[in-house]
Structure 1
Amino acid sequence: MKDIVYCKTPAEWLRVSENLEDPVHIPLNRIIINYEGSDGKGSIYQDLDQLPIVARLNDISQLGLADRCTKSIQACGTRYGHSIICASKIDRLAQIHDLDRELGVCAGMTHDVATPPRSDSSAVGLSLSDEGWFGYVIDQCPELDALLDKYSVSRGELVDAVRGRGKNPITQLINRPGSLDVDRCSYTAYDSQNLGMVPWGCIEAQPDPFSSIDLYNGEIVFLDPDSVAKCLDSRVNLFERFYKNPCLRAKEAFAGEVARELMDKGIIDHKSIFRMVDVEYDKLVLKHGGILGERLYRLDGFDSYGSVQAGEAELKGHLQQITDRPFVIKRHKVFDPGVETPVVVDGTVMPYREWNPVHAGQLKRRMGKWDRTFVYGYENDKVLERAVDGARREFGFDAATRMEEMMECFDS
């Protein structure tokens, strides 16, 4: 785990920025992680850093299996890096707008502690919700209760903030369904730059809508609708180009199948998995995952921006190994582009979709296609039809029949 660095001056920040880069960019002279704070409670970061549940995040990859799926990118981000970015960003906003700094920092540093190893690559297959398991994970960490008492943070407020409940401005910063929040903006920028989609330091490419916000009746609103528009575009582009890429989805679906098998065998359970890190989980998959687990981790890499045809080839290459296993029919949650984000226009607060209905509609249409049944990572009927034809040619009637049975479940 990285050591926490306490920055007091811009020069000091520049010296450590390589390790503690904040990709949610604001002008350089304001990018100073003020860990000490005006109230002398800077040690809150250091105390949080000592919690086992927070330390574990340094060994959890932000992008799951991406580093084993691609040749052209370095998916090197960790959940710890993302969490400290969120916490420091919320800290600055809390000090500027006189919000509950301690609650914000605690929520920012702990909001991902219920992330399983390999992040979403295993979470989707195991039907895990990090928000749903957050309470269980913090219950296993008695050190957290002592820390919360020390900084006068209510456990209930922390849970509500992480789960997006209530109207507390800190809750709106950490988890605001339907709207932009620091968490969503941070991982959009952080992942984009780890994937090489946006160069580090490129302020224009990664606008920070939080550089211009205010409070109206306890609600955080955005004073620059144009920066919101750019940020929403960045989020949708990231989902279209990477998160929902058919190639990566295919790999993650196979990973989910292996994870379910490990659970069926009693090798892992929903509780033990939150104590594991990536390396431990990988060893279990290779040891107990059979041929599917071995092929999953040892397949040649491919470009994550590859075509649907490349993803289809992956599916056809594996059909022979999995035709004797039940296929998984699963609805994928629609990605929320954040068009409910409240913006201020001529002194009036309104949802972004009302200020720019055309663009909001475009964003929803671009992401609406993901409201489909995902079967091993494939998002539309045409891809599956081609896969069925390929299965019939290469593997015979049985495999093709199983594929057709999957397709019949699409609209059920």
Structure 2
Amino acid sequence: MKRKLILEDGTVFIGTSFGGNKDNMGEVVFNTSMTGYQEAISDPSNYGQILTFSYPLIGNYGINRDDFESIQPVIKGVIVKEVADYPSNWRNNMSLDEYLKLKNIPGIAGIDTRMLTRLIRDKGTMKGAICNLDEEDEVVLAKLKAITFPVDEVKQVAATKPYPSPGRGKNVVVVDFGVKHGILRELTKRGCDVTVVPYNTPVEEICALSPDGVLLSNGPGNPMHVEEATAMIRVLQEKVPLFGIGLGHQLFAIANGCTVEKMKFGHRGSSYPVKDLKTGKIIFTSQNHGYEVKESSIDGTPLSITHRALNGGSIEGIEHRDYLAFSVQYQPESSPGSEDGKIVFDRFIQLIIKNQGKVENHA
């Protein structure tokens, strides 16, 4: 069945329907990864978005049980050049089409994704609608112009109650703004005893858990929509080692006096080169963000820049000069690849050990 994608600038693409057969509206963005479509589709940071995959064939290794980043995907649609009808991989459990049907997420294949990606790069991310061919373009455009997306994105994806990811090592509290399962996997690999708490948990309750360290997770949307988290961050960074990822990175920056701005089309994909300014080493990273810390706002704050993207120069890492607190903009859990970024989890554990040594010496 033929369906269409209508962008808010009036551009119309005609393609073939797959996945769920429903109309949806969302922010149209593009992802440049060759692999990792399952992780991107299930990433809570993609709440409310229609994902365009620029790689020409998507779904060729199917969907498996191990690579989900959340239980329930929260995207609004998938756009591809070609979808694989018969995936081949030893871990394959179902096709991409079958999975999107199961979750009632609409997809369109046969779209010129190269043209669409270039359009987004030129004009920036835009609102878009997936709908049937018989829908009048003018009517859909009017709806697109009138629609306002929710500002409680984090509330829509974060846990509502604390839950454990047990281990027998360092006691780490993860503040959930839309946490990816890959982050929890990396912490448990390092023997951490993890407790995940909702993003709006009072700081007194977090401290009552006696954490050895606190991780601020990734999440969707504008960080200014969760500004209440900044007061919590200012208290915690003085008490225990603090590590922010993605949205957690942006909130850490805001809590220390920086400002954050929306990017024209964001960074979404794998193998983004990032330079570690301390060592001079280049690492390849997985990224998924539409906002960035404004560099001019760092002057006069207690923060220093530690990592910078080589494509565009955006800030990819910062640290506090007085406290054991740091953050990265990229996805260090490498879900999907690249693997280089995982070293910052080791740095987090090292800071916890360093802080415990200070406490013991003080005692």
TM-score (norm 1): 0.26
Structure with bigger RCO (C-alpha 8 Å, 6+ apart): 1
Q: Comparing both structures, which one devotes a greater share of its residues to strand?
A: 2
Q: Which is higher, the Rg of structure 1 or of structure 2?
A: 1
